[in-house]
Amino acid sequence: MTMSTNVLLLYVARGVRGFGDGFATIILPAYLTAIGYDIVEIGVVLTASLLGTAVLTLLIGVIAPRHDLRTLMLAGAGIMTLTGLAFPGFQHIAFIAVVAFVGTINPSTGDIGIMIPLEHAMLAREASDQERTHVFARYSLIGALSMAAGTLAAAVPDFLTRAGIGQVGAFRAMFFVYAALGLLCILLYRFLPHAQIVEAKPQAPLGPSRGFVYRLAALFSLDAFAGGFIVQSMLALWLFQQFDISISAASLFFFWTSTFGALSFLVAAPLARRIGLINTMVFTHIPSSVLLIVAAFSTNLALTLGLLLVRAALSQMDVPTRTSYVMAVVTPAERATAASVTAVPRSLAAAISPTFAGVLLTTFPALPLVVCGTLKIVYDLALLYSFRHIKAPEEVG
């Protein structure tokens, strides 16, 4: 396998997973509503999902430096397949929460999960310093576009229902499609080369970059805690509750938010080359948070959707730049662990928020959006203050 072929395989696998995540984040709350659960109970399931993602991602980060990346990716794809098969088999809230905890369906929009640190480490091995941000921008672009396509697929249950299939049965069919996508990922990962991050057993998963990575992880956790108030599943519930939109309308809306976010990745890399990775992260993020706060108080559906669409065009530019920055400022042997350590607090912090958001939606529907936007602005200012002088190698000089 050539280097470009390996990157291409990772891109295709990211697209397959993104497509599944795109419809699963909408189908999951709709399915739980259809089988009789209320908003607070759905928030608990979403919290279990994010918490489980954090635990599994931490485990991956600890064992990745000692194991073959390809083997770990195959195991992750296997878990994805089992997740799709398990969800339709349970209706009791406790069993559903367990499946959500150990499974791969994530109510967020795709930049956390057990596969992310593994794919990041593999991509970083293949890219030079000058090309690294572009490689991750394309990776994020593919993920966002595939998620956009997946959100459109979330409308399939409506068509199946019109064809005579029961609503719950239509939702369960989508989970089986998700399982099939996991099998496709297994086939793709089998063509990757065996790759171990270090030749010998390391003294510790993190070495000279430990303090730096922990500081980043603390800030990223604040960002994720804020984002947990409006993970895509929860934002869908807010739109259902505030404006009574249909699943088909929601799927079309999230298609466009994902598409706008994806197009922003095309701008992120050249913008970062011009003004720097940290500045790109901060000065695109703050306006998007302001738009979210304004949208919280809008009572007009068209205006609300417009504000959220513009926000989507700005809010995701920090995804490839954040990943590139972390990969740039740690040693190669630390990359998988650094990706995990910076992702796990994000998952843990984001796991707390949906339960609170579910309670708030029943009492103060606008508050989750306001809390999210305000905390994200605090995060951006803290990140700029703490890391404005620490540059990636390609920015030095």
Render each residue's pLDDT in the chain as its tens digit; 397 residues.
445 788 899 999 999 999 998 898 888 888 998 888 888 888 888 888 878 887 887 787 778 777 788 899 999 999 999 999 999 888 888 899 999 898 888 776 555 678 888 888 888 887 777 788 788 888 888 888 888 888 889 889 988 988 888 889 999 999 999 999 999 999 999 998 887 654 444 445 567 778 888 889 889 889 988 988 887 778 888 888 888 888 888 888 988 887 888 888 888 888 988 898 999 999 999 999 999 999 999 999 999 999 999 999 898 888 888 888 888 888 877 777 787 778 777 767 777 787 788 788 888 888 999 999 999 999 999 999 998 888 888 887 6
Output the pLDDT for position 109: 55
CA distance 164 to 170: 10
**Bridge partners (DSSP) listed for residue 196:** 68
Here the tokens at position 372 are: 């999210």
pTM of the model: 0.68
Instruction: Please report the pLDDT score of residue 257 as a whole number.
Output: 86
- CATH class for the region spanning 3-395: mainly alpha
pLDDT at 200: 43
> Quick one: pLDDT at residue 288?
95
Gap between the Cα atoms of 72 and 77, Å rounded? 9
Rounded Cα gap, residues 89 and 378, in angstroms: 42
In 323-342, which positions are buried (b, 16+ CB within 10 angstroms) versus exposed (e)? bbbbbbbbeebbbbbbbbbb
Q: How far apart are the first and last CA of the chain?
A: 35
The Cα 19–Cα 14 span in angstroms is 9
Amino acid symbol at 89: G
Residue 204 φ/ψ region, left for φ over 0, alpha for ψ in the -120 to 50 degree band, beta for the rest: beta
Helix (H) or strand (E) holding 112: none
| Residues ≥6 apart with Cβ < 8 Å to 70 | 189, 190, 192, 193, 194, 195
Q: How far is CA 284 from CA 124, 224, 277, 280, 313, in A?
A: 24, 16, 11, 6, 9
DSSP state for residue 194 in the 8-state scheme: P
